[in-house]
Amino acid sequence: MDNETNRKFDSVFKHGILTQENQVDHSYSKIKVSPDKSKQKPVTVSHFTYRIFTKTDKEIQNSNFYKDLERCLGAVKGKTVHTIALTRDYIMAFLNWLIVAQFFTTPPINNILIVTTDCYVYTFLVKKGIPVVFLHVYDILIYPFTPRKVRKVGKQTHWIVRLHTWRIINILGYNVMSYDLDSLPLRNPEILFEEYPDADIIGQAVGNYPHQVRDAWMFFTLNMGTIFIRNTPGTEKVWETISKLTEKFDRKADDQVFMNKALHSMGLTWDSPPIQLYGGSKNWDLNAKQENEFLFGPTRGITTDGGVVVIGVPASLFCRFSCNLNSIKNYMIWHYPSKVFGGDIWFLKQDWARITLDSEKKGLDWLIKITNQEELRRIKLLAA
């Protein structure tokens, strides 16, 4: 953010917003809903991950976060929850994602679970009428969290708690569709899920690591920026494998590494392996070329251990480095690597912070006011 935007953003947070973490109100704990018990199942072994860093199963299941998830998911209609997580640094990217999911995606995405570990973000979104669940990282992690040989602890924290969020959603009887903030749903991916009712996992086959798995699978892995995990006996086996692989792991935590390693260790092979002559590269143009050449349609894989069915979705549907506005009508997910703000698909108004300060509107009415309607119409015409 530039200095002017950052100043306005600071004022948004200081306008009647709680600023102390211990003042965070777990609002979902106060919502009285009747959980759909048909979607829940008794769990004797939780298969949580990274046990060297995390609390016991009982402590996690008794945490505010677990209880809040249980209560809010009890009000969900359907079997699939779409989840997105953010902190203060990514509020603009999140708002752009939410605008896309509500006003661009066809049909619009329902059952969106927003999770934040940032009390500022939590109180801001609550004030603006956007449902959100607060996750105190030490509901999951043992204090202090000190992985070895890691410079950016925040990113490691995000990956660990994200895995636990997915796991808890499955435990509670729901399928989970997870997005990175730069993974924009142009068409509702539930359309694709229905085409593969036997699939346990559906993922973006554009990953470049872990390298040994990429080489074994002929140069692609599943990218965790867009991943669908069904609540099935097959995924229970995957969670068990990830739990075992990470049980004594005390270094860099990465959900993409261990999801792919688990599937590889379970003997996953693909029906239609890609044909190409080069592996992952730091050269984005080369990666874009690679994405468009190595896989021309969804490929099915199955593990020898547990019979887990995995669908790898190519860049022609879930684009990554190869995202191009000229092909936008073909894409279901636009996942161009962009952790900064702006880009080809950006509908958040530049003066959104000023509009927010000047407006009492909440929820979708507020979201409409901070949306660049002209740009939204322009990109919709390109995608038509």
Q: What is the mean pLDDT of residues 268-287?
A: 58
* Domain boundaries defined on the chain: 3-40+47-383
Give the number of other Cβ atoms within 10 Å of residue 57's Cβ. 15
Q: What is the mean pLDDT of residues 374-378?
A: 96
Phi, psi for 189 (deg, rounded to 5): -70, -10
- What whole-number distance in Å separates Cα of residue 309 and Cα of residue 325? 32
Fill in the DSSP letter of residue 84: E
- Please name the residue that has the structure tokens 């119409």: 377
112-144: per-residue pLDDT in tens?
A: 999 998 889 999 999 999 988 888 888 888 766
Nearest 10 degrees: CA dihedral of 262, 266, 271, 276?
50
What does the block give as tokens for 94? Answer: 């999140």
Spatial strand order in the sheet of 309-313? 133-134, 112-116, 80-86, 175-179, 221-229, 201-207, 309-313, 299-302, 269-270
pLDDT confidence band for 1 (50 / 70 / 90): very low
- What whole-number distance in Å separates Cα of residue 93 and Cα of residue 105? 16
182-235: per-residue pLDDT in tens?
A: 999 999 999 999 999 999 999 998 887 888 888 888 778 899 999 999 999 999
Report pLDDT for 23.
36
Termini Cα distance of the chain: 32
Report pLDDT for 145.
59
Judged by average pLDDT, the poorest of 24-38, 205-219, 312-326 is 24-38
- Please name the residue that has the structure tokens 């912070």: 353
Spatial strand order in the sheet of 318-319? 184-185, 333-334, 318-319
Q: Kindly report whether the global pTM for this prediction surpasses the value 0.95.
A: no
- The answer to whether the beta carbons of residues 205 and 311 sit under 8 Å apart is no
Q: Which residues of 193-344 form beta strands (DSSP E)?
A: 201-207, 221-229, 269-270, 299-302, 309-313, 318-319, 333-334
What does the block give as tokens for 381? Answer: 């015409």
What does the block give as tokens for 230? Answer: 């069904």
Q: What is the mean pLDDT of residues 144-170?
A: 72
- What whole-number distance in Å separates Cα of residue 26 and Cα of residue 78? 24
**Summary mean pLDDT of the chain:** 79
Residue 49 has pLDDT above 80, yes or no: no
Helix (H) or strand (E) holding 157: helix 153-171
What does the block give as tokens for 384? Answer: 């038509």
Pairing of strands 175-179, 80-86: parallel
